[in-house]
Structure 1
Amino acid sequence: MMESRSYLSLSWLLLLLCSTVCSANPNLEIMKRMLDDMDEKVEPCHNFYNSSQKNLKWHAFATVSDQFQLLFDGIENEVFEKHSFEEKLQRLYKICSTMERPSLLRYFELVKPGEDLNWPFLTPRGGKWPKEKFQWMEALARLRRYGFNDIMFGMSIRQDPNSDSGQPIVVFEKKYDSLFRFIESLQNIGLPPKLAKEIAPLDNAIQEMYKSDMKFEHYARDAAPVKRISLGQLEIYGVSLTKYLEIVFGRPFSPDFVVHVENLYYLRGLQNLMTAVPSQVVANYLTARFSFYIMFTFMKHGDSCVTTMRQSMEFASNLLFEERILGRKKLRSYQNQAGKIFDAIRQQLNIRLERNVLKLPPAEISLLQKKLNGLSLSIGNLPGKAGHRRFVTRYYKELEFADDEELATAHLKVLEHRTRAELSLLDQPNFKDRRYMLHSYPISNFFFETAYEENGNTIYVAYDFLADASFDPDSHDIFKVTPLGIRFGLEMLKSFDLFNCKHHKVNMLQLFDDNQITTAGDECVSAWTQDNLLSQRDQYLVVLHLVHEAYFAEGSKFSQRQPNFTTMSLRELFFFRFGQSSFGQTLYFGSDFVEGGSPINSLTRLPVFVRTFNCLAPGEQLTTTQKST
């Protein structure tokens, strides 16, 4: 067993030194913070979580929102060139910060389900809602114009999987977030019980149809019909998408126009379901879903509009932050530091693709290598290394706000502008060369960390993630690699679509698992049906090992010298950094927490962790315990 180290005495020494030294030495600042959170009385082998994070209280993730607040406050009274993106950003900030949030009723007055048709709840008392005018596909298309794309089915523009030149294609696929308890969430924010009771059966039916289709596709891999199909041919299957596209894009589409339909059987089933359900129930269901969407796409936290501004006009906000707060020197530093980690993690994945322990066909390995090596890194989600101002100016060229703009119309304009920018990718022949990502709404918490755009080619790192002292140019490499390397590893694995059993027969995570620690079976279906928390644990451990190899492998470009600011080894620092990160927190609460007892230590499944802390094997631990009693 590893002898107890005197971390606490070192911590007190750092506390004494830090008032004069920490500001000049980021390593001391980081080390002090680490030691303050650790409990040296607890053995890492037995209780890693309490050892690395005493009291099991993790710090909230830091953001640079305060700096953005200063930025927005600073431009509030500046004079900008008319129609410049700065003026538009300033205008939206003033609208947001000076106006009360409008009622949801106002949005439904502005966004109608059809020509000369209101939503059922807007029907005057005593009047009759003209249900015969309601067409669910038309209503869904009108909502899609504002980015609403995660209900019933989704439509997006992606690189044509059958085109080597990277041509874009329209993709239709089923959509339902089965982990999101929609009805329950709406009831928590005031959905009337009567309405909840009315729409719940439809929500359950869509959810069950989604799950059933997922099982069908994963167990019957060869049963799906051809995916590339013209709009005219779709009509033969009873699926009409022409009017939907014409409403969303605002232009006509020929019956010969070819689209990619990922889930044709699902769309046919959805068509039948919507026909069987009363029109008013469908309309009320869309109303409830869109209400939730509206609330989460323009949120004010107290009087602050920072989060709203960063999400609504992301590129404009990021460019001004880059120019006025960050500066070129720090931006280049971020790019170099993050890029070094990005390349190292990609190299480890490439090594395992070449090793090919699953004996996959060479063509399949080649496709995975092409996908991996085609990924690019974006700091702050602005494309390329130059021309950021030109890109942002062009991106917001068509967005305009009236002098008397109200908040609801400004909000809808931003959403519609964003959708038009997304849809314009259909007319861009160099789609695969895009080096930025368009976040899907509602935007997740990963907006402030890292993200990979589904079926895209860009991994994005937020400024927030790099604002930590770890990314000071003088900080030790060990602090930079964890946790950013883990983020990169998980996003790169996500790009492989490992658990898509329509494309893979085997459990693809095993391709990257050097230690045979994955608990699902060898078949893809066993991995797909595995409990989500256990699947997440396996992915964390596999990626943690990959990041460890990236840092300590022979030929590594990361510093291997023993730091002079701690008696811990680099490997010990590596694992304690993981334990104190959001990944350690997630692993603890997700899979290793034990009610009323000590937590499980999943990290002991990694041989390198056992060696680092000189942990005893399970049999030896039992013998030692028996002797002590």
Structure 2
Amino acid sequence: MHVFSGFSVLAAIMWIICLLFVPLVASSSNTRLLNHILSHVDEEASACGTFYNFACGKYNMRHIDDSFYDIIQMLDHQMNQKLVKLMGELEENSQSRDFNESSVEAKVLRFYRTCSEVPRNMSSLVEYLKLAPPGEGLTWPQFTPNGSSWPQKPFNWLETLAHLHRYGLTNVFLSIDIVSNPHNASEFRFDLSKPSFAEESQRLNSFVETLALLYIMKVPSSDVVALARKIRKLELSVKILTEGFDYIESGLISLQQLEAKTGINLQPFLEIILGRRITPQFRLLAQDFRYFTALKELMDKQDEAQVVASYIMMRFGMYLLEETTDGKEPIECIANIRRNMNLAASWIYKERFLETSTFKTFNQEINDIFEQLRREFLLQVEHNRLELTASQKRFVDGKAKDIILNIGNLPKTDDLRNFVSRHYADLELSSGDLDYHREHLKLLQFRTQKITEQIHKMTTRREEYFDLPEPKRAIASTSYYVMRQNVIILPLGLLQEPFFLPESDLVFKYSLMGFTLAHQLMNAFDTEGIKIDRSGNDRKFNSQRYDEVVDCLHRDGKRNINERIADNAGLELTYSAYSKNARNRNQFDFTHLPAEKIFFLNLGQFFCGNSDFNVEYEDDQVRLQQVLDGFEPFEKAFGCRRNNNQLENCQMF
């Protein structure tokens, strides 16, 4: 007879307890997730009518007192609350002699203190303007000492834009961005184009708001009305120029060639942004050459430099208002940190709230789902519903196999602390006097500098890649696909209940996380992604059947076609993968509801939103309805009459 040692007996007992405990944990998690879903369901509505009203009918009532709109904003709120708690812990640790004042944690805490302790309001714009003048030795016109006139001669509108671009301002008179070279995705280039006026933040608002902002910026009241009219007239002239050219020239071009084509001296502008000298052979991407020629003619006709300077100042002020908050609530300051120190915020969140074993579990579970989705997609490609040529199939197959999933937008390295520390090594934040405006401008400059430093640097291996997200993306737990790098970014905020629990049933995992991953996977093959190869370079893709499916999906013309492709093809993909991998679909121990109903109800949670909070919630209703209309498994699950709406003609892969 085998005799167990005391240690072996204890280990055996613990093993048995674990076997008994895990199902209880899973059952509890499944019950919580299901109850969360059912709390939003309005059973008086018809699932076969407008499914949004059925799946989300009680969402408003349930979240009437909440400050968030939908599930993503809820996850962000939860993440921000956790980071507020972490700031309290760091504050306590900072009193210790062992606290490293040069660490990333110390820099994050320093800005958090400054944000949460310094009072400010819209009038604080004046403090920004004093710290960020329009050029060396210049002030903004309204700060000219009494009895003297503003020195117009030294002012150069293009150089002023360059100085302010270092804080992230762009899209004023021209748009300048840092993008992967479409001809060689291993490097980044400047992309110069005409500005956009599509969004409210990209143009002046009403005349009254323009007057108010000029008052706030301390423009003398006697000058405000006349100046407001002049700067609005200037913006209108530029807007008309942007609409005046249908044919767009574009391409990779040398600085010397671009200056010859446009007549604009761009070298000082680019050198100020880069912080170094460049040669006339410096190459950049440029578009809309004729616009720039017309812009130069317009600017040469401006006989009041003060008007041009004031317009730039107005747009800079609007940018700063969008980039900060006039409140100092802890949760707002956390959002400020995520916006400006995104890598640091993600890293400290992971270290504190996702310990190594936990993060490893999340990684394993999510990667397993992604690999199942990828495998299912490759089977669809092999089935070849689109009648692709052998070459086209190899292209799609190869690109799909090459997609990298980055969970947390963190570089894969054995020493993440050291990597993050090196990233922020040049960022110096004061530990003495608290000056929010000064420290905020430092962060804006640091963030922009990191983006600009990518110019002419070879991109890192995609396994080590992490994205430098734009501000709106940095503060949101929304997944996205980076097209030129062929990388899917999955923010850490999605690794929370009710969006994803590793121990939950596959029906919950595939209907939310699976749909999210499948959506991003299909973005790699939408009308833009299909024209970019696995290395991020442009390529031609001509397929009549592909175009027919696009036309079918876009026949109403009401929604972004690429989002429609990702939604429809993503749902088909994740449902197919779930059906093949779920073994206990009819043997739930936590509910009598069929798996298919739970699947679609949980999918609906991705689209639920508080209509009292956002008047555009109808978009989510339409989006959910369009993805489910004619989808046979959904109609079968809820006993709906078959909707013959040519769905088969709209199936992508």
Q: TM-score range by the shorter chain?
A: 0.7 to 0.9
CA contact (8 A) 2:255 2:282 kept: yes
After TM superposition, the score normalised by the length of structure 1 is: 0.79
Matched to 1:67, the amino acid is K
RMSD between superposed Cα atoms in Å: 3.9
In structure 2, the CA distance between the partners of 1:23 and 1:286, relative to structure 1 (3 Å rule), is farther
Aligned to 1:159: 180
Superimposed CA distance per residue, residues 33-62 of structure 1 (whole angstroms, 9 cap, x where no aligned partner): 111221223321123122112246275423
In structure 2, the CA distance between the partners of 1:467 and 1:203, relative to structure 1 (3 Å rule), is farther
C-alpha distance in 2, partners of 1:510/1:539?
17
Aligned to 2:575: 548
1:237: how far off? 0.2
CA contact (8 A) 2:31 2:590 kept: yes
Superimposed CA distance per residue, residues 40-97 of structure 1 (whole angstroms, 9 cap, x where no aligned partner): 2332112312211224627542331111001011111424224222222222222222
| Structure 1 unaligned spans of 5+ | 1-20, 218-223, 522-529, 621-629
CA contact (8 A) 1:199 1:284 kept: yes
In structure 2, the CA distance between the partners of 1:140 and 1:562, relative to structure 1 (3 Å rule), is farther
CA contact (8 A) 1:498 1:504 kept: no
C-alpha distance in 1, partners of 2:506/2:54?
23
Partner-residue secondary structure (3-state), 2:489? strand
Aligned to 2:437: 408
Query: Out of 440, 464, 467, which is 2:470 matched to?
Result: 440
Superimposed CA distance per residue, residues 250-290 of structure 1 (whole angstroms, 9 cap, x where no aligned partner): 11000111212244344444444444455333322222222
CA contact (8 A) 1:209 1:266 kept: yes
Aligned to 2:367: 339
CA contact (8 A) 2:48 2:635 kept: yes
Aligned to 2:324: 298
Aligned to 2:265: 240
C-alpha distance in 1, partners of 2:234/2:584?
57
CA contact (8 A) 1:45 1:604 kept: no
Q: Which has the higher mean CA deviation after the structures are superposed, 179-188 or 318-327?
A: 179-188
Partner-residue secondary structure (3-state), 1:447? coil
CA contact (8 A) 1:22 1:29 kept: no
Aligned to 1:171: 191
Query: Out of 543, 549, 553, which is 1:518 matched to?
Result: 553
CA contact (8 A) 1:300 1:308 kept: no
C-alpha distance in 2, partners of 1:411/1:374?
39
Matched to 1:200, the amino acid is R
In structure 2, the CA distance between the partners of 1:71 and 1:588, relative to structure 1 (3 Å rule), is closer
C-alpha distance in 1, partners of 2:314/2:632?
50
Matched to 1:312, the amino acid is N
1:347: how far off? 4.5
After TM superposition, the score normalised by the length of structure 2 is: 0.77
Aligned to 2:149: 128
- Asked whether 1:476 is paired with 2:505, we answer yes
Percent sequence identity is 26
Aligned to 1:624: none
| Structure 2 unaligned spans of 5+ | 1-23, 69-73, 215-223, 532-537, 646-653
1:248: how far off? 0.7
1:336: how far off? 2.1
- Asked whether 1:317 is paired with 2:342, we answer no
Aligned to 1:84: 103
Aligned pairs for 1:326-475 (under 5 A) are 326-347=354-375, 350=378, 372-384=400-412, 386-402=414-430, 403-404=432-433, 406-431=435-460, 433=462, 434-441=464-471, 443-444=472-473, 447-453=476-482, 455-475=484-504
1:562: how far off? 4.2
1:560: how far off? 4.5
Superimposed CA distance per residue, residues 139-165 of structure 1 (whole angstroms, 9 cap, x where no aligned partner): 11111111223444343443333237x
Aligned to 1:280: 306
- Alignment size in residue pairs: 576
Superimposed CA distance per residue, residues 94-122 of structure 1 (whole angstroms, 9 cap, x where no aligned partner): 22222123711111111122222222232
In structure 2, the CA distance between the partners of 1:379 and 1:142, relative to structure 1 (3 Å rule), is same
In structure 2, the CA distance between the partners of 1:198 and 1:505, relative to structure 1 (3 Å rule), is farther
Aligned to 1:49: 52
Q: Which has the higher mean CA deviation after the structures are superposed, 139-148 or 351-360?
A: 351-360
In structure 2, the CA distance between the partners of 1:398 and 1:325, relative to structure 1 (3 Å rule), is same
- Asked whether 1:110 is paired with 2:115, we answer no
In structure 2, the CA distance between the partners of 1:353 and 1:149, relative to structure 1 (3 Å rule), is farther
- Asked whether 1:100 is paired with 2:127, we answer no
In structure 2, the CA distance between the partners of 1:352 and 1:393, relative to structure 1 (3 Å rule), is same
1:28: how far off? 0.3
Q: Which has the higher mean CA deviation after the structures are superposed, 48-57 or 509-518?
A: 509-518
CA contact (8 A) 1:159 1:431 kept: no
Superimposed CA distance per residue, residues 380-404 of structure 1 (whole angstroms, 9 cap, x where no aligned partner): 2221153211111100101112333
In structure 2, the CA distance between the partners of 1:138 and 1:603, relative to structure 1 (3 Å rule), is same
1:406: how far off? 1.5
Superimposed CA distance per residue, residues 197-242 of structure 1 (whole angstroms, 9 cap, x where no aligned partner): 44334444444544555x545xxxxxx35x1111111121024322
C-alpha distance in 2, partners of 1:244/1:559?
63
Matched to 1:281, the amino acid is V
Matched to 1:299, the amino acid is T
Aligned to 1:570: 595
CA contact (8 A) 1:113 1:139 kept: yes
